[in-house]
Amino acid sequence: MISLLSEPLIQRMLLVGLLVGLAAPVMGTYLVQRRMALLGDGIGHVALAGVAAGWLAGSAAGFAQQDALAIPGAVVFAIAGAVIIERMRARGTGADVVMAILFYGGIASGVLLIGFAGGSNANLLGYLFGSISTVTWMDVWMSVGLAALILIVGLGLRSALFAVTHDQEFARSTGLPVELLNMVVAVLAAITITVAMRVVGVLLVSALMIVPVAIAQLLTRSFSRTMYLAMGLGAALTLTGIWITVFQDLQPGSLIVVLGVILYVIVAAATSFTRRPRS
Amino acid sequence: MPEPTAPRDVPPSLVEARDVRVSLQGTEILHGVSLSAAHGEVVALMGGNGSGKSTFVRTLVGAIPASAGAIELFGAPATAQARARLGYVPQRLTASGGVAATALEVVMSGLLGSRGDSAGVAGRIRGLVPPRDRKERALKALESVGIPDLATRDCARMSGGQQQRVLIARALVRDPELLFLDEPMAGVDLESQVQFAHTIGHLKEHGVGVVIVLHEIGPLARLIDRAVVLEQGCVTYDGPPPKDLGVHALPGHDHEHPHEDPPPPDGGALGLEGP
């Protein structure tokens, strides 16, 4: 079993899983704090259109690996989608309907464009539900860079991002750059989604951001402890899920999310049963 | 209690608002409202529901833009930097988020931003004190409002009075020169009201100007220097506080339509309460 750790593919899968498991709950904590837990779902849909656009661009450019530009395309589209959503949220009028159109348009055009670019159903499923078993060293280094950015900014600006997501009006009265910090949250959430997409796919990407936070909330009543505990849980869930799929022919992304949901139910039942006081 | 700093300059008024008009979603809510407060002066802003009190306070702290009129803070036109020298206590925990937060975390968030200097973006994000000193300052602020033992408690699980004290501590931790409070006594227990009166008295002694939105003067009667009454977006009284206790006793109070609800404000995006 230990010898498997020397396999390059296993190393790549575990490394990407660890990074995503640590980074996703950081941004998930801010989204839950702002009561926008489903934003990840929406941006994931838009990111799929970016995958497809990148795929088309890769085909047109004649790259040997057709999906070489898929992840960069997803990053660009996800950030653009997040910026649009944030601007509409700040404006506060009719945002939900426009967001819904953006999301549905994203996934529908993504599916169509991948078809145009010559992608197969298998390729599509890889992006919808994750395809960590095909991860390359290039993917690993891209994930390392993006995850490092998320962790450095997400943890480094924790106090300011907490202030803005907790009480925007008070934060504005203190002179904090509220609009800038809101945009930082939106853009980092978009980057998180494109990194996590490789592990769990666009349809489950939000779960990796939110489920560890939901479990942590059952166990602690402090913002910072919730964030750190969620990071630990996210890493443990992704590593456990990936490790199980080394031995069992299961879909890693779905397994990770199901493990998270099972853990949530167990912890919720245990805390409800014991009614332990929270500190 | 954090010691309020001595005033840097001595302008005639800490805040001077003249003919302020505010429109929300195309409806004018404030029709030319004026107000001033000097060092050590406690001004009660009173009026029935929907009179525009909260909208006016939110305009003064910069949360809502004024469509016309002039607002001066510390003797100069109100800027973001000048507003950072204010303390602001919203009506309640307006944005208790989806994740639990302790009283200490909430109060420490009051130490971010600038304080009247020309701090750049990085300076404003870094805040007023080094991170290692934030906890100590926040604990002192919680002590000043009488709840140091609740520092690690989740705010969302506190009583209304305890939550209000946390918000006051968050404002006081900045050592404000001028403090705005939006109905701090609403739904607050007697113990918290007494503690609150003590806190306001201490601030007044140290020269801090206080503008406080109230329905009833109650235990603050001896501290209030002036009452300003708003009705339907207009000032109907500005003078000594009434001997009687409630807004209903004040001259200019509309006994025919005392509690009309206002049109919905443009606060939905912020998740905020209306006026």
**For B97, which of A34, A176, A224 is closest by C-beta distance?**
A34
Q: How far is CA A267 from CA A178, A261, B97, in A?
A: 35, 10, 22
Q: Which residues of B touch A177 (CB under 8 A)?
A: 121, 124-125
Cβ(B111)–Cβ(B173) below 8 Å: yes
The pLDDT value given to residue A264: 97
The Cα angle at residue A28 between residues A27 and A30, in degrees rounded to 5: 65
Host domain of residue A166: 2-274
Does residue A248 carry a pLDDT above 50? yes
Q: Which residues of B touch A217 (CB under 8 A)?
A: 99-100
| Contact B37/A at CB under 8 A | no
Are the beta carbons of A160 and B112 separated by less than 8 Å? yes
Span A54-73, pLDDT tens digits? 888 888 887 777 777 888 89
Residue of A nearest to B58 (CA): A169
Where residue B275 falls among pLDDT bands split at 50, 70, 90? very low
Tally the domains of chain A. 1
A137-155: average pLDDT = 90
The pLDDT value given to residue B244: 54
Q: Which of A162-176, A230-244, B70-84, B142-156 has the highest mean pLDDT?
A: A230-244
| Contact B120/A at CB under 8 A | no
Domain ranges of chain B: 11-85+177-268, 92-176
A232-244: average pLDDT = 95
Q: Which residues of A touch B271 (CB under 8 A)?
A: 168
| Contact B95/A at CB under 8 A | yes
Token representation of residue B201: 């008295």
Does residue B139 carry a pLDDT above 80? yes
Q: Distance from B224 to chain A by nearest Cα, in Å?
A: 25
For B268, other C-beta atoms within 10 Å of its C-beta total 12
Q: Distance from A266 to chain B by nearest Cα, in Å?
A: 20
Does residue B255 carry a pLDDT above 80? no
What CATH number does the domain located at B92-176 have?
Answer: 3.40.50.300
Q: Which of A15-19, A84-88, A200-204, B89-93 has the highest mean pLDDT?
A: A15-19
The pLDDT value given to residue B115: 65
Measure the CA–CA gap between A246 and A248, rounded to whole angstroms.
6
| Contact B99/A at CB under 8 A | yes
The pLDDT value given to residue B227: 92
Cβ(A22)–Cβ(A147) below 8 Å: yes
User: Which B residues in the span 147-166 are in contact with A, Cβ-Cβ below 8 Å?
Assistant: 152-154, 157
The pLDDT value given to residue A55: 85
The pLDDT value given to residue B101: 93
**For A222, which of B62, B105, B110 is closest by C-beta distance?**
B105
Cβ contacts of residue A249 below 8 Å, gap of 6+? none
Q: Which residues of A touch B117 (CB under 8 A)?
A: none
Are the beta carbons of B112 and A278 separated by less than 8 Å? no
Are the beta carbons of A217 and B127 separated by less than 8 Å? no
Are the beta carbons of B114 and A223 separated by less than 8 Å? no
B93-117: average pLDDT = 80
Chain centre distance of CA B22:
18
Measure the CA–CA gap between B13 and B4, rounded to whole angstroms.
17
Does residue B102 carry a pLDDT above 90? yes
Per-residue H/E/C for B48-92 = CCCCCHHHHHHHHCCCCCCCEEEEEECCEECCHHHHCCEEEECCC
Measure the CA–CA gap between A73 and B187, rounded to whole angstroms.
52
How many percent of chain A have pLDDT more than 70? 96
Does residue B83 carry a pLDDT above 70? yes
Average pLDDT, whole number, for chain B? Answer: 80
| Contact B113/A at CB under 8 A | yes
Mutate to test the interface with A, among B85, B99, B105, B166 (most CBs of A within 10 A): B99
Q: Which of A253-267, B13-27, B44-58, B159-173 has the highest mean pLDDT?
A: A253-267
Span B175-191, pLDDT tens digits? 899 999 998 887 777 87
Span A108-128, pLDDT tens digits? 988 888 888 777 777 778 888
Does residue A277 carry a pLDDT above 60? no
Is A171 part of any domain? yes
Measure the CA–CA gap between B84 and B193, rounded to whole angstroms.
27
Q: Distance from A9 to chain B by nearest Cα, in Å?
A: 37
The pLDDT value given to residue B109: 92
Span B181-240, pLDDT tens digits? 998 887 777 877 888 888 899 899 989 999 999 887 777 888 899 999 999 999 998 988
Size (chain A), residues:
279
Better pLDDT: A126 or A190 = A190
Cβ(B30)–Cβ(B52) below 8 Å: yes
Span B65-78, pLDDT tens digits? 899 999 998 888 88
Is A157 part of any domain? yes
Q: Distance from B81 to chain A by nearest Cα, in Å?
A: 7
Lowest mean pLDDT among A76-85, B86-95, B233-242: B86-95
Are the beta carbons of A173 and B83 separated by less than 8 Å? yes
Where residue B93 falls among pLDDT bands split at 50, 70, 90? low
DSSP A7: S
Interface contacts A/B by beta carbons within 8 Å: 126
Size (chain B), residues:
275
The pLDDT value given to residue A94: 61
What's the CATH code of the domain at A92? 1.10.3470.10
Q: Distance from B256 to chain A by nearest Cα, in Å?
A: 34
Does residue B267 carry a pLDDT above 50? no
Place of tokens 């167990």: A266
Beta pairing class for B68-73 and B42-46? unpaired
B96-110: average pLDDT = 89
Give the neighbor-by-neighbor strand order of the sheet with B226-231.
B86-89, B178-182, B209-214, B42-46, B226-231, B234-239
Mutate to test the interface with B, among A167, A215, A229 (most CBs of B within 10 A): A167
Q: Which residues of B touch A180 (CB under 8 A)?
A: 121
Q: Which residues of A touch B61 (CB under 8 A)?
A: 173
**For B101, which of A35, A174, A222 is closest by C-beta distance?**
A222
Mutate to test the interface with B, among A87, A161, A170, A209 (most CBs of B within 10 A): A170
Q: Do domains B11-85+177-268 and B92-176 have the same CATH topology?
A: yes
Cβ(A120)–Cβ(A66) below 8 Å: no
For A137, other C-beta atoms within 10 Å of its C-beta total 11
3-state secondary structure of B217: coil
How many percent of chain B have pLDDT more than 70? 80
CATH topology of domain B11-85+177-268: Rossmann fold (3.40.50)
Is A279 part of any domain? no
| Contact B74/A at CB under 8 A | no
pTM, 2 dp: 0.82
Q: Distance from B92 to chain A by nearest Cα, in Å?
A: 11
**Which residue in A74, A78, A60, A77 sits closest to A116, CA to CA?**
A60
Chain centre distance of CA A112:
23
Does residue A279 carry a pLDDT above 70? no
Does residue A92 carry a pLDDT above 80? no
Span A35-54, pLDDT tens digits? 887 788 888 889 989 988 98
A77-106: average pLDDT = 81
A187-199: average pLDDT = 88
B22-35: average pLDDT = 90
The pLDDT value given to residue B256: 46
Q: How far is CA B37 from CA A17, A55, B9, B76, in A?
A: 58, 63, 15, 14
The pLDDT value given to residue A189: 92
The pLDDT value given to residue B116: 61
Q: Which residues of A touch B174 (CB under 8 A)?
A: 174
